[in-house]
Structure 1
Amino acid sequence: MGALNTFPVSVKVEGQRIVIVGGGAEALNKARLAIKTTAEVVIVSRTIEEDFSALPVTVRERPFVPCDLFGTAMVFVADHGEDGAAAQRMARLVGVPLNVVDVPDSCDFYTPSIIDRAPISIAIASEGEAPVLARLVRARIEAMLSPDLGAVARLAGSLRDRVAALLSKPQARRFYEALVTINSPDVEALLESHRGEAEGIVWLIGAGPGAEDLLTLRAQRLLQEADVIVHDHLVPDAVVEMGRRDAERISVGKKKGHHSFTQAQINALIVRLAAEGKRVARLKSGDPMVFGRAGEEIAALRKAGVAYAIVPGVSAALAAAADTATPLTLRKVSTGLVFATAHGADNDELDHWAALAASGLSLALYMGKTITASVAGKLLARGLSASTPVGIVVNAGRPDRTLHRGTLGELALDVISFSDGPAIIFIGAAVAAGDWQDAAEIAVHDFKVA
């Protein structure tokens, strides 16, 4: 995700002027935008080419003079002649923010596409690079928003003093969330219902394999409602930042060899936060119920009598299957799928895996990158064929994913040099039906020269 060259803000123009230098079509377009505010809009041009009579603006048909910028919040220059040049110089001299129409490099600010639900406004800007795209995005958002949104915002504003006097900050935040999501709310009843002790809750949320657009809509909504976000090491910053701006963020990152929090400490933390009346988003990579140790956290929450809910996420194996179009269950080839973690597997488990794979089931092994060759060798020793297809996806679901393909016999040679990131290892006949044409061949490209 690239950095912004501009900082999005809302500029207060009440009691000030917006000056537009120019009298043509470009000036008329800016005037139509400026009159949506309470500012006095002034048009200055030697020649008024367009009809401004239908707009509540002041038209001055004369050359630009320096005093035109007195009491001005911003100036648009839509005149590319002598007056426009003079207006630009004066704006720079007195520090009035300047927009030179269609000349992005000369602009102090850009004009966004605006969705108007006063006092709610939504601006979509492209830093002058793609105004047409900004308008298309605006149209999509506009279609999603109720025309009554502004009325709800005004109601919320009128209640601010009462709410501040009656409710704590967490209670007030929940009151406003309910106010804007309930049709025709009974304000008095809603206020009363939020005056009691705030009840905490923990949401165990699956963040998916790391791509922001694989996060579920429910997960995104709850991240916006959470008071605290407790997240794992593998959850990307971009996903964590989908939470409310003022939400507390606590990293309990655990990666191989580095545990900043033990599982017992994490359990105690989320119980304590919820007991304080906070809404806690426990954000886990993939799906919380698949190798996410959610069972231990759920047990702790149940024991403490804390409310909780599970929000599923896209597990890494499913993302890896999607990346490679691999049908992990395939008629007459694979009748089922086994999720397993390669770390800590004992002899009985290995015997079981080998028997399942030999019977036609697909294996999806998690957390086994450093012991891949060892596990492959043990499966071969238990009778699984060396020609069994194998496919490996590192960083499934992400743009930087890498793929490897080959056979179980080749995998046992310990010749793969993996890139950084979590890996999913597929073993079974169904792997051959996937699209692995861009994958590195284990026995060729990955072979290490001694």
Structure 2
Amino acid sequence: MLSHFPAFFRVAGQVVAVFGDGDEAYAKVRLLRNTSARIVAFTQNPMASYAALLARHAIEIDRRDFVPDLVRGATLVFAATGEAERDRTIVQAARAERIPANAVDQPDYCDFYTPALVNRAPIAIAIGSEGVGPVLAQMIRAEIDRRLPRSLGRLGRLAEDYRSAVDRLIPRGVSRRLFWRSFFKGDIADAVEKGDMAEARRGATLLMLAGTRRSVGRVFLVGAGPGAEDLLTLRAHRLLMEADVIVHDALVPQAVIDMGRRDATRIPVGKRKGCHSKSQSEINDLLVELAREGKRVVRLKSGDPLVFGRAAEEMAALRDAEIPYEIVPGITSALAAAADFELPLTLRGVASSLVFTTGHDLTGDILPDWARLALSGATVAVYMGRTVAASVAERLMAAGLAEDTTVAIVENAGRQDKRLLHGTLKELPGLEARVELTGPVMVIIGDAVAGADFSRSQPLNGVASEAPVLLRN
């Protein structure tokens, strides 16, 4: 967690005082030259290169001995004399006047830190390390500086020329955001980079006229994956940043929801066992209503939208309402669970097929198709597996699957707080009693499971045992 809040000071025309004669003062003045601040250098005997910099840019020099009154009226104060005690005295004088101050290489006497700066005025990127890694900050600055086009500042100034007209003509919300997104990339940006400002202005004007037409809403059915932020796809992340509304399931972690725009509306519609905040029909109606208002809507689902995500009903409702939509796949929990265990879901000569099931169709006397596949060697991944563990195990064993068939269990697959268990089909019914498993539980059953790495998992029956032996034909 950051101990400093990143911010930009308004310094145009304001006095920024720099105290010192040597390298430290020189570096601060050179950094401040990126701004339109009124720099005052308090120096009596500046080193030659510093004196040349001050003369070259006609920077104001004050040669008086330091007294506390010298800081009065400044917006910022830099104490860069190279003498620790003197710098602390300067900072104390600034703090007495409620002026933010910075003493070089003395963190306790820094009300702010100077960042590594990428300057594409009026666009600026500041990289800070809270004083612990200035070299790292400089390395990051160099990488960003290399990637950003030199024309970025000109593009920003062109945008400023159009801002008032865009505010008048294009409605707030999705239409305006889409305008600016198109403005800052594509033909307009290319024309600015080539130096053809006339072409850039023509393109911007045409884009603005097109943006005055009412925008049609759109719904994105987005897979959030198993819950780890870094397993979200790049497309899903981009859409979250563009969404007006995020309609999310209960199983999607807050950290993933928070990756959306700060001002996006967030609507929970979660369905957990025995507790539905909205019915599926209500969710369908909500998506249609929001899209008809012209909103860009992200329907954020745990895992993949097309795997036990009831996406079919939502797609049907959107098609009936003639609302455009798009599917954005996510990593389904079975794949994340397998990765946690380093578990081959398919294995040559052992398992050549894979079944995804919730196990809730184990009713009546007829064995489900997936259960028959398990008997033929398929690997079975059971979603929401804790509550159906006993019925799954009993039916499979009754049908003839060996009771010593290996099972792997993962709570919160793919996340930092995951919990791994392993055992056999005979032991699986005991999973229902594990009430401490409050997160989503994935159960994987089959001969291929024996090839997993069980060194980081606990035995399901609570008794350590040898890792299962991999079966081979």
Whole-angstrom CA distance in 2 between matches of 1:50 and 1:410:
81
How many Å apart are 1:105 and its aligned residue? 2.3
Partner of 1:180: 184
Give the CA deviation at 1:408.
0.6
The sequence identity of aligned pairs, in percent, is: 48
Q: Secondary structure at the match of 1:20?
A: strand
1:353 to 361, 364, 370: 370
1:48-447 aligned at under 5 Å gives the runs 48-49=46-47, 51-52=49-50, 53-54=52-53, 56=57, 57-79=59-81, 80-170=83-173, 171-184=175-188, 186-347=203-364, 350-414=367-431, 416=434, 418-445=436-463
Deviation, 1:175, is 1.2
Q: State the TM-score, normalized to the length of structure 2.
A: 0.89
Distance (whole Å) between structure 2 residues aligned to residue 337 and residue 93 of structure 1 = 71
In the superposition, relative to structure 1, how do residues 349 and 219 fare at CA in structure 2: closer, same or farther (>3 Å)? farther
State whether residues 336 and 414 of structure 2, in contact with CA within 8 Å, keep that contact through their aligned partners in structure 1.
yes
The aligned counterpart of 2:195 is none
For residue 130 of structure 2, give the secondary structure of its aligned residue in structure 1: coil
How many Å apart are 1:417 and its aligned residue?
5.3
Residue aligned with 1:147, SS: coil
* CA deviation string 1:187-219 (max 9, x = no partner): 121011111111100011111111111111111
| Contact 2:220 2:328 survives alignment (8 Å) | yes
Contact kept? 1:354, 1:383, Cα under 8 Å:
no
Q: How far off is 1:136 after superposition?
A: 3.2
Q: Is the 8 A contact 1:21 1:83 kept in 2?
A: no
For residues 354 and 27 of structure 2, the distance between their equivalents in structure 1, rounded to whole angstroms, comes to: 60
Change (3 A) 1:254 1:354: closer
Structure 2 CA distance for aligned equivalents of residues 443 and 108 of structure 1 = 56
Q: Is the 8 A contact 1:48 1:61 kept in 2?
A: no
Deviation at 1:423, TM superposition (A): 1.1
- For 2:179 and 2:366, the matched residues in 1 are separated by 52
| Structure 2 residue identity aligned to 1:68 | L
Shift of 1:405: 0.7
Cα distance in 2 between the residues matched to 1:135 and 1:334 = 52
- Counterpart residue identity of residue 208, structure 2: L
Greater shift in the superposed pair: 13-22 or 140-149: 140-149
Q: Residue 5 of structure 2 aligns to a residue in which SS?
A: coil
For 1:10 and 1:243, locate their aligned partners in 2 and report how far apart those are by CA, in whole Å.
23
Deviation at 1:102, TM superposition (A): 1.8
Offset at residue 60 of structure 1 (A): 3.5
Q: 1:260 to 1:140 in 2, by over 3 A?
A: farther
Q: In structure 1, the residue corresponding to 2:416 is in which secondary structure?
A: coil
Shift of 1:412: 3.0
- SS of the aligned residue for 1:246 comes to coil
Contact kept in structure 1, 2:361 and 2:368, CA below 8 Å: no
Question: 2 CA distance for matches of 1:41 and 1:280?
Answer: 48
CA-atom RMSD, angstroms?
Answer: 2.1
User: Could you give the per-residue CA deviations for residues 397-419 of structure 1, whole angstroms, max 9, x where no partner exists?
Assistant: 11110000111112134564553
Measured after TM superposition, the shift of residue 173 of structure 1 is 2.2
Q: How many Å separate the matches in 2 of 1:223 and 1:356?
A: 39
Stretches of structure 1 lacking an aligned partner (at least 5 in a row): none
More deviation, 167-176/304-313: 167-176
Q: Distance in 2 between matches of 1:77 and 1:445?
A: 64
Equivalent position SS for 1:168: coil
Q: Does 1:40 align with 2:35?
A: no
Q: Secondary structure at the match of 1:338?
A: strand
- Which of the residues 6, 9, 12 maps onto 2:4? 6
CA distance in 2, matches of 1:101, 1:19: 14
Q: Determine the C-alpha separation between the residues in 2 that align with 1:438 and 1:361.
A: 25
**Cα deviation digits, residues 355-404 of structure 1 (max 9, x gap):** 21222211111012122123212211111111111001110111110000
> How far apart are the structure 2 equivalents of 1:349 and 1:133?
64
Assess, with a 3 A threshold, how the Cα gap between structure 1 residues 90 and 240 changes in structure 2: closer, same or farther. Answer: same
Letter in 1 for 2:460: I
5+ residue gaps, structure 2: 189-199, 466-473
Q: Is the 8 A contact 1:23 1:50 kept in 2?
A: no
Residue-pair matches, total: 445
Q: Distance in 1 between matches of 2:21 and 2:61?
A: 9
Distance change (3 Å), C-alpha of 1:176 and 1:140: same
Instruction: Decide whether aligned partners of structure 1 residues 227 and 430 sit closer, same or farther in structure 2, where only a CA change above 3 A counts.
Output: same
Deviating more after overlay: 117-126 vs 300-309: 117-126
Range with bigger deviation, 290-299 or 17-26? 17-26
TM-score (normalised: structure 1): 0.93
CA distance in 1 between partners of 2:351 and 2:364 (Å) = 24
Tell me which amino acid in the other structure corresponds to 2:104. V
